[in-house]
Structure 1
């Protein structure tokens, strides 16, 4: 009798777990007005180039800590004030190293990144993570350019260059690449969904990402990520127009808070290879990187 009772209890537990596992959950951006969230993003890349038989290696590391203040909501969208809190940049190429750390900046740094700490812009995001608009970026670009030079002609040139990485379109695409991660409908454990995004930065990257809900536990969604990346077409680099033909993968895992839609943790491995061509010369490229995101409610 006792064995039978335990067997029934065990069967009930297993049935409950199986039922819960098949329950569809809604994953979407559900940030609450009046609340504040923190995002720490890290982009670590090792770049290999072969130019006319010569191998050149570069390392680039960028870390940015943001805060998201959810100011108002115009259902179903949210208005967000984004503030840069910390910036760290490291570039090492051909023995020349350039480093910037906002935590060590005493205000005398002649570096455009020095103007980012404390700078803000506003964006409107949808429940699916689409960034509908950004505003306030141009003022930020002016401050960055003026940090580099006081000469108006030089400042204009610098601002134009910075626009490709920190301008409205670049910021919009960068934020959307990090936030547009949700399915179009409720999803069950084991099911997948596909999201396509474009990152208009120095390289025109197109990404097609397949997300799979692997597990639901403690109000968290554990998601596997498998994606492809491509950059095909012309791009302007330091005044030269280059043709790009690059492709690769973007694979990893992430944890999403089901209630808020906040990406609590994301760890992606990036592998890209191919060529860039200019003036009849092909440059072989190989990029290995790791992109990380850590989010929390502040």
Structure 2
């Protein structure tokens, strides 16, 4: 009887410990700047007009998020790009840009340097949802400085692309893609939750995420999961042509979270997307189709 009683107590204790729930959210300190370094390594393979083309791209971006005010669940932040590095290898050669080594003989690096350390405002909820971004005009105007005659057709197209890339909605979706990872209620180890989001960029996508709380790992909270990705049609003004995309893919991800602040300490995101794209010139109605496959690995280090 005594052994049965002890076993009963042990089972109760195990159940209580296993069922303990954790509230996952951001708990940031006003006045502190949090840093994220994001490295994206991507490979794009295209088959177009009977030819195969491969593009390898590496981008390293360091961003600072300074908390200037907290209003209930919301954080008001001053965000700045600290540094940016891009390295692209194509069949036509290699091009490297670095905001920290820019000079007058390197207009591409100068363009990156012009948008560093120009703050814009962002309001983020404690689950990572971005509700507002303001003052992006200062970055966009600085980006366009020294880029030649803005009435030139090529410059007008570039202007339209940059306006979309640095729009409020595009920035919201970019930040939320790695920041909006928390559930709307406390969770136990093994619990799952879902979210959907629309990625607004040069290639817009709908993303359905499934997250799972794995408990603790190396002194951090551990979240992992998978995503389903499907394309939506590309806006005509983003490319100068009417684009129709039929692309799909998936991604897997793993996040290590600081237990006190909720800030991402380390993350890895692996993504594969492929499919067909049809482009039609609005001037003459001619169109062509090509296949494209994209694979990328994103790593994040925070402090």
Q: Normalising by structure 2, report the TM-score.
A: 0.87
The match for 1:204 is 204
Give the drift of 1:289.
0.7
* Residues 1:39 and 2:54 are matched in the alignment: no
Paired residue secondary structure (1:62): strand
Give the drift of 1:295.
1.1
* Residues 1:22 and 2:4 are matched in the alignment: no
Paired residue secondary structure (1:140): helix
Paired residue secondary structure (2:205): strand
**What is the CA–CA distance in structure 2 between the aligned matches of 1:257 and 1:107, rounded to whole Å?**
41
Give the drift of 1:44.
1.4
The match for 1:130 is 129
**What is the CA–CA distance in structure 1 between the aligned matches of 2:296 and 2:14, rounded to whole Å?**
38
* Residues 1:226 and 2:226 are matched in the alignment: yes
Cα distance change, pair 259–37 in 1 and its aligned pair in 2 (3 A): same
1:135-166: per-residue Cα shift (whole Å, max 9, x none)? 111111010011422x3424655432211222
**What is the CA–CA distance in structure 2 between the aligned matches of 1:93 and 1:16, rounded to whole Å?**
60
The match for 2:283 is none
Question: Where do 1:139-154 residues align within 5 Å?
Answer: 139-149=138-148, 151-154=149-152
Kept in 1: contact 2:157–2:240 (CA 8 A): no
Question: Where do 1:34-183 residues align within 5 Å?
Answer: 34-106=31-103, 109-111=106-108, 112-149=111-148, 151-154=149-152, 157-183=157-183
Paired residue secondary structure (2:235): strand
The match for 1:261 is 262
Give the drift of 1:167.
2.3
The match for 2:284 is none
1:15-72: per-residue Cα shift (whole Å, max 9, x none)? 8776444310011122121122101112211000111221111112211101110001
Give the drift of 1:169.
1.9
Paired residue secondary structure (2:262): coil
Kept in 2: contact 1:49–1:56 (CA 8 A): yes
Kept in 1: contact 2:217–2:256 (CA 8 A): no
Give the drift of 1:198.
1.4
Paired residue secondary structure (2:138): helix
**What is the CA–CA distance in structure 2 between the aligned matches of 1:120 and 1:107, rounded to whole Å?**
24
Paired residue secondary structure (1:153): coil
**What is the CA–CA distance in structure 1 between the aligned matches of 2:16 and 2:216, rounded to whole Å?**
12
* Residues 1:286 and 2:283 are matched in the alignment: no
Cα distance change, pair 18–293 in 1 and its aligned pair in 2 (3 A): farther
Cα distance change, pair 15–92 in 1 and its aligned pair in 2 (3 A): farther
Give the drift of 1:225.
1.5
Kept in 1: contact 2:84–2:98 (CA 8 A): yes
**What is the CA–CA distance in structure 1 between the aligned matches of 2:66 and 2:232, rounded to whole Å?**
36
1:157-190: per-residue Cα shift (whole Å, max 9, x none)? 5432211222222112111212111001101001
| Aligned residues: CA RMSD | 2.3
**What is the CA–CA distance in structure 2 between the aligned matches of 1:116 and 1:92, rounded to whole Å?**
23
Kept in 2: contact 1:45–1:287 (CA 8 A): yes
**What is the CA–CA distance in structure 2 between the aligned matches of 1:252 and 1:178, rounded to whole Å?**
10
Paired residue secondary structure (1:233): coil
**What is the CA–CA distance in structure 2 between the aligned matches of 1:290 and 1:189, rounded to whole Å?**
27
